[in-house]
Amino acid sequence: MKTFQKPLTPEEESRYLQEYKQGSLEAKNILIERNLRLVAHIVKKYQGAPEELDDLISIGTIGLIKAVHTFDAKKASRLSTYAARCIDNELLMYFRSKKKTNREVSLYDPIGTDKEGNEISLLDVIETEPVDVVKEYSLKQDTVLLYHLLPDILTQREQDVLTFRYGLYGQREQTQREIAKRLNISRSYVSRIEKNALLPVCLNPHKAPVEDVVRFP
């Protein structure tokens, strides 16, 4: 099972991009290494292809390197968003070129199978939006970050309200009225606690450390 370093924070990414523009090869390597997890995440949707996973990661990494070389902060807010498209394009170009060497083929021709053993075609892969991959990837990071943040910046009661309200830690999502009854307080007080609790969470998106390593199945 391969492991990858944690992604860069927006502040770290901005700093290393600036250093890379000034000619730092070390900064370039860091930008690549700290985004390899994104490569692995995107490659997962191609895992039914006959190629080895490591081969696809190598191809996707070429797309990542191109992204680092050509990224323009004025045209894209985050490197990861831009890199996801470059990685996906690199993999698609590989499959297209492979098909061309085997003469004319249809987009409906099978290229492998998914986790359930169902046959997938090139069209199935092309129709998948790269931006959805980025959103899913970012959501996982934000969820881990939220669990780290709660004990550090919220009171116990604020933690309880958010836990019950949004179904954290395996709890069932509950209405403000249900939470009020459970905590023996008024519904309006629950609403006020929820709003006050969400404010520091939104204002401190990078206060807590995220897991150093995330494992991909």
pLDDT tens-digit profile of 56-112? 888 889 999 999 989 887 776 788 888 988 998 888 888 887 766 555 556 666 667
Higher pLDDT, residue 105 or 179: 179
Predicted pLDDT at 30: 92
Give the CATH number of domain 3-128. 1.10.1740.10
With 90 as the cut, is the pLDDT of residue 208 above it?
no
Rounded to whole angstroms, the Cα distance separating 195 from 186 reads 15
Higher pLDDT, 130 or 31: 31
pLDDT of residue 211: 38
In angstroms, the CA 15 to CA 159 distance is 34
Q: Is the dihedral of CA 35, 40, 46, 49 positive or negative?
A: positive
Mean pLDDT calculated for residue range 191-217: 57
Residue 52 — pLDDT band, cuts 50, 70, 90? confident
C-alpha triplet 76, 81, 82: angle, nearest 5°? 60
Residue (of 54, 53, 78, 202) closest to 131 by Cα position: 78
pLDDT of 124 strictly over 90: no
In the chain, what are the domain boundaries? 3-128, 137-211
**Rounded distance between C-alpha atoms, residue 8 and residue 34, angstroms:** 6
pLDDT at 105: 54
Tell me the CATH number of domain 137-211, given options 3.30.160.60, 2.40.50.140, 1.10.10.10, 1.10.1520.10.
1.10.10.10
For residue 181, pLDDT over 80 is answered with yes
Give the per-residue pLDDT at 216. 34
> Has this prediction a pTM greater than 0.85?
no
* pLDDT score of 206 more than 50: no
Range 107-120 average pLDDT: 68
Between 216 and 197, the higher pLDDT residue: 197
- The pLDDT > 90 percentage for the chain reads 12
- The pLDDT mean for the chain works out to 77
CA angle 39–43–46, rounded 5-degree value? 165
Q: Is the pLDDT of residue 120 over 90?
A: no
What is the DSSP pairing of strand 213-215 with strand 110-113? unpaired
Q: Using H for helix, E for strand and C for coil, what is the string for the chain? A: CCEEECCCCHHHHHHHHHHHHCCCHHHHHHHHHCCHHHHHHHHHHHCCCCCCHHHHHHHHHHHHHHHHHHCCCCCCCCHHHHHHHHHHHHHHHHHHHHHHHCCCCCCCCEEEECCCCCEEEHHHHHCCCHHHHHHHHHHHHHHHHHHHHHHHHCCHHHHHHHHHHHCHHHCCCCCHHHHHHHHCCCHHHHHHHHHHHHHHHHHCCCCCCCCCEEECC
